[in-house]
Structure 1
């Protein structure tokens, strides 16, 4: 495994981040096996992955609880544990959002489930239109000042919203977002026309979610065939949303390059992301040892400029993303 710094911070993270949304039982495509989930986390640590990303809302805390159990015997000083806040954790008032109350309540619950004294990267999962960004940032800054959080990050918003947050932090002398978590892959490149230029210019780390487009870029789906039962493509409309002719053309290029360099489509798709200057660590979501090893081996795959250009050719990045309202 190789390592890099998270944006302009001094913290070292592995070039792949282990996404932990699969470790739970909320959806049929999740692992639904606590012991197997813990074993897979241990295997990721053995491969040198020190960066783990979860969220309080994943299986309503179950993912955080599994991660906490899995890393209990690890060297905590070497780990970079990331989680998120925003989503609905209970019915009723104050059960979601980015108010001071919700953030301060939820960070304590996440610390308990992760069984740790501090969170390395605490991220807002979405923008909250109902809470002033000043209130959110003040609460997050308090967590950094008291040592419960080391760095703060954000996920999935407009460039205007993110720029406003960074500007507010600068003006008010609050802790600044060190990291952004956008959707980004060879078939989801709309953030190149939105968030990524802000991240590049502001020294913000980028940890893309869904780098394999829900499995689409692994090559396991075919143009003329229905997704196999049990796959995310069969269970998720969002994955089937990738099934456009433009995206099939990208996948054709990924498959061709993979065949030429003796790699798998998943490895080529990850290698393409890893070679983007703005990208810190794609968030992988393996559900088996074979998937994990395949993803880890992508770190050593090198693409030529010509190969990368072939993968990029079918897409023109646009914001808003095609099909969004």
Structure 2
């Protein structure tokens, strides 16, 4: 496993991280979660990502139980706050009230004394960035959080909060978790340059484009057990532009000719840019995870990266 610094900061993350969105604490039972997490850990993965709202807190509980037997000094756990956690205006967003309440709930569900990376799940236009930044700094000073970051914030707001924190002497956000894959490249014009300028680490979620880049979705076919077959395809539909499935089948051929599976090449493509700290992948089976990680130590040939970009650019979100 390769490791990269979290932007300009000291923590080193495995270039592939393990995520729990949509599966763990839900469709994957507790014992399978333990097996997947331990397989990830044994493969060198040292960052495990979740959120308070995933499966209404059950994903945090499942991840906490799976990590409980491992040496706490050897891994980092990240969770998030912002999404609704109940009825009423005080149980959502990034107000100091909600954040202070939710960190304690996350620590309890995860079974840890501190969260390594606490992430603002989205930008909250109703809360001043000063309130968010001061709250996060207080959590760092209290020892409940080691680092804090953001997810899917507008680049100007990311720069604004970093400049504010530096001027005030507060803990600076160290990471931005963003959607990124060969089919979803919207961060390239503004977000990635902002992260490079500010020394912010970048974490990519959905590097396999909700499974599309595994090549399992052939035109006109819905694989048994897939998210679309199980009714979770609402997010996948965001990718399905005319010609996408056909282009992905060509991508799969390129991968096989180069000695990769489609998933392996998709992950390698995502990590080609050194600004990308880690690609977050999920897995419902240990063998699935092992296969996807098999090429992670091999840097991608720039010519192969360019070939994939050229093939998928006409159908990608740019």
Note closer, same or farther for the CA distance 1:253–1:206 as it changes in structure 2 (3 Å cut). farther
Q: Is the 8 A contact 1:253 1:310 kept in 2?
A: no
Q: Is the 8 A contact 2:152 2:177 kept in 1?
A: yes
Q: Is the 8 A contact 2:218 2:246 kept in 1?
A: no
Gaps of 5+ in 2: none
Which residue does the alignment assign to 1:199? 195
Structure 2 distance, partners of 1:175, 1:298, is 36
Note closer, same or farther for the CA distance 1:175–1:80 as it changes in structure 2 (3 Å cut). same
Which residue does the alignment assign to 2:79? 83
Deviation at 1:245, TM superposition (A): 3.6
Structure 1 distance, partners of 2:39, 2:131, is 40
Structure 1 distance, partners of 2:125, 2:13, is 31
| Aligned ranges 1:1-325 → 2 under 5 Å | 1-21=1-21, 22-25=23-26, 30-31=27-28, 33-225=29-221, 227-234=222-229, 235=231, 236-245=233-242, 247-248=244-245, 250-314=247-311
3-state SS of paired residue (1:181): strand
Give a deviation string over 1:80-121, Cα, whole Å, max 9, x none.
110000111111231111011111110011111111111100
Q: Is the 8 A contact 1:5 1:280 kept in 2?
A: yes
Q: Is the 8 A contact 2:272 2:305 kept in 1?
A: no
Structure 2 distance, partners of 1:148, 1:317, is 45
Q: Is the 8 A contact 2:218 2:249 kept in 1?
A: no
Deviation at 1:249, TM superposition (A): 5.8
Structure 2 distance, partners of 1:140, 1:312, is 38
Range 175-184 or range 35-44, more displaced = 35-44
Q: Is the 8 A contact 2:25 2:60 kept in 1?
A: no
Note closer, same or farther for the CA distance 1:258–1:39 as it changes in structure 2 (3 Å cut). same
Q: Normalised by the size of structure 2, how large is the TM-score?
A: 0.94
Aligned residues: 315
3-state SS of paired residue (2:48): strand
Give a deviation string over 1:189-228, Cα, whole Å, max 9, x none.
0110231111111111111000000000000001232x23
Structure 2 distance, partners of 1:86, 1:294, is 34
Note closer, same or farther for the CA distance 1:210–1:182 as it changes in structure 2 (3 Å cut). same
Range 309-318 or range 74-83, more displaced = 309-318
Deviation at 1:270, TM superposition (A): 0.4
Structure 1 distance, partners of 2:49, 2:247, is 28
Note closer, same or farther for the CA distance 1:201–1:195 as it changes in structure 2 (3 Å cut). same
Q: Is the 8 A contact 1:272 1:303 kept in 2?
A: yes
Q: Normalised by the size of structure 1, how large is the TM-score?
A: 0.92
